[in-house]
Amino acid sequence: MRIILTFLIIFSFRQNILSQFSQDSTYSYQELNRILETARENKDQKTLAQVYLKLADYEGDIFGDYRRALEYYKWALEYFKVTGDSSRVYETNFYLAQRYLQAGFVDESLTILLNLADVHSKSNNQIVLAKIYFEINKVYKRRGDYEMSIDYLEKAVAINQIVKDTTLLTNILFEKIASFENNFDLDSALVTAYDVFSINTALNNQQMVAKSLFHIGYINKLKKDYAKAIKYLHKSEILLPFLPYSENRKAIYKELSNVYSIVGDYAQGYSYLLKYTQLNDSILNKTRLESINNLALKYGSKDKQSSIEILKIDKLNAEQQNKAQRKTLYVLAIGLILVLGSIYFIIKFYDQRITSAKIITQQTEEINHQKIRELENSIKMSSMISVIEGQEIERERIAKDLHDSLGGLLSTIKLQFDHVRSKQENMVNLKEYNQAYKLLDTAVEEVRTISRNLQPGSLQDLGLIPAIKDLINRFEGEAYPDIYFQYYEMPVKIDKMISLSIYRVIQELLNNSLKHANANEILIQINTEDDELVIQYEDDGVGFDQENLVRKGMGLENIKSRINYMHGSISIDSQSGSGISVLIRIKHQ
């Protein structure tokens, strides 16, 4: 009776959780995972679809894990198809296309959006069709096909003239402004910016009014009408609603600092540069804290899930022990009844039970030890992943700090030097002035070099191969060995973190060779075998003794940690006086 009552309470609790779930409500990451588990047990496909959709937004917007976000969108899509909810299928496909574009999968995004456009053009759903055309315009623009981009933008404009969606119209006009600015069609850009200003002034949308004023000021700056640029940028600053970490306000401060420096008002330029630097530091610190908190939230939830699994295992073991004890009691009761007739058989049977219990206990202990070892390995791997991702986040933050804050400050100091030299022509003949000017140039170049080493911009902008070429080009000259770089049949797409890890491994190997090997030639080869990337690294330097590999410092340990992070393998062949050969194999997805 007690078991039945407990089951009814648990079942009622689970049903209550599912009945209270709402797609429009806000849930924590842990709450969503609990609801997901309950929905799975109850085979509630509608709730599963909605929870997967929310988890996809969590993974993409909060954790930045586009791979997991795309996977959750696809699960949500499958469950919406099973439930027959066609409107949510189209909506989820739209979200999936937007996330594909964010992750850099332009062709996949375009395929989905074109299919959606075909479906909604047949159903004559004009509002949704206009939004889809607007998204297709952004995809073609990302691909560099500006003719198709403009074509679909004009289609969105034509439909919006019928449905009159002012929010979409504002987004379309801002898209046009950006295109005109990029093509340096400043007159068209200025006319469009005034149109946005008029529309949103009538709607009393202060944020959009401020944004349009910013573009008017920025376009006037490009037209070199600096008085109007300052006027409209100040109006944008005043009208922009105050937010503590506003990217729009940061852009205003940056442009005002730039314009004031151009017109020679260095005091105002420096004042707005300080405002820009302080706001930028606040945004970077906020981003860094959010990244750390999000990592803690994500991996903390995994630790809790592991604890739950351990508790389930313990509960199952306790139930098995209780069953074994009950069986033993039954056997003993029967044995007592039959003791007078068959003492010998009872003793023999009891002895067999004890032996079986010992064997089961030993097997259970071995299983538990194995699960503990697997859990420890999983925790170590999660910790290593957290450390590596945390290091890259911190490197990116420091690189941005150096480039945006210190780099900007040094550039302003250099402007001040130039200003002093223009006012005092005799300063050029002063040895101390020229020496200070050269030291300032050296400091600017050092900041750029350190920032580039911490966060290679070419890797994000151009990809892995150009980034490695850029790294090798830094070591050209008589002071460095000859470096040969060869690559064959590279995959079209490589995961962002894998590309960054491969770059760091090659960077570490090069640094080791340049510092310790005294090599004349270095060879780097990258090619593809099936689904693996094969990296071959060789130099003809002094090499080292394999037995003393442990004492070679943290360089090789860092390389091995990154290879483990990518679930790859590494083999090192080296002897004293014979150089080094390193072979690395990793999955490129």
Q: Tens digit of pLDDT for each residue in 195-254?
A: 888 888 888 888 888 888 989 989 999 989 999 989 998 888 888 877 667 788 888 888
Question: CA–CA separation, 239 vs 232, rounded Å?
Answer: 10
Confidence of residue 523 (pLDDT cuts 50, 70, 90): very high
Bridge partners, 447 (sequence order):
none
Where a domain ends, among 450, 484, 502?
A: 450
pLDDT of residue 304: 47
pLDDT of residue 164: 78
pLDDT of residue 363: 80
pLDDT of residue 2: 45
Residues 496 and 384 in one domain: no
Mean pLDDT over each residue of the chain, to the nearest integer: 77
Here the CATH number for the domain that contains residue 506 is: 3.30.565.10
Residues 422 and 513 in one domain: no
Backbone angles phi, psi at 145, to 5 degrees: -95, 80
CA distance to 337, 509, 521, per residue, from 343 (Å): 10, 77, 87
Residue positions counted in the chain = 589
Q: What is the DSSP letter of 242?
A: P
pLDDT of residue 96: 84
Residues 434 and 332 in one domain: yes
Could you tell me whether strands 569-574 and 521-529 are parallel, antiparallel, or unpaired per DSSP bridges? unpaired
Domain presence at residue 426: yes
Q: Is the pLDDT of residue 513 over 60?
A: yes
Share of the chain above pLDDT 70, in %: 77
Contact indicator for 471, 456 with CB cutoff of 8 Å: yes
pLDDT of residue 292: 62
Domain presence at residue 553: yes
Bridge partners, 524 (sequence order):
485, 537
Where a domain ends, among 414, 432, 450?
A: 450
Residues 482 and 568 in one domain: yes
Contact indicator for 433, 427 with CB cutoff of 8 Å: yes
Domain presence at residue 226: no
The residue segments making up the domain with residue 470 are 459-587
Domain presence at residue 114: no
pLDDT of residue 307: 47
Q: Does an H or E element contain 581, and which? A: strand 580-587
Residues 446 and 554 in one domain: no
Contact indicator for 404, 453 with CB cutoff of 8 Å: no
pLDDT of residue 396: 61
Dihedral angle of Cα 33, 385, 524, 496, to the nearest 10 degrees: 40
Residues 425 and 472 in one domain: no
pLDDT of residue 3: 44
Where a domain ends, among 427, 450, 473?
A: 450
Confidence of residue 522 (pLDDT cuts 50, 70, 90): very high
Residues 385 and 348 in one domain: yes
Domain presence at residue 536: yes
Q: What token pair was written down for 409?
A: 């400050």
pLDDT of residue 584: 93
Contact indicator for 256, 233 with CB cutoff of 8 Å: yes
Domain presence at residue 331: yes
Residues 511 and 396 in one domain: no
Domain presence at residue 302: yes
Residues 472 and 573 in one domain: yes
Q: Is the pLDDT of residue 289 over 80?
A: no
pLDDT of residue 507: 84
Question: CA–CA separation, 297 vs 288, rounded Å?
Answer: 14
Residues 436 and 472 in one domain: no
Residues 517 and 557 in one domain: yes
Domain presence at residue 562: yes
Residues 301 and 444 in one domain: yes
- Please give the model's pTM, rounded to 2 decimal places: 0.41
Could you tell me whether strands 521-529 and 482-488 are parallel, antiparallel, or unpaired per DSSP bridges? parallel
Domain tally for the chain? 2
Confidence of residue 5 (pLDDT cuts 50, 70, 90): very low
Confidence of residue 448 (pLDDT cuts 50, 70, 90): low
Angle at 350 between CA 344 and CA 353, to 5 degrees: 145
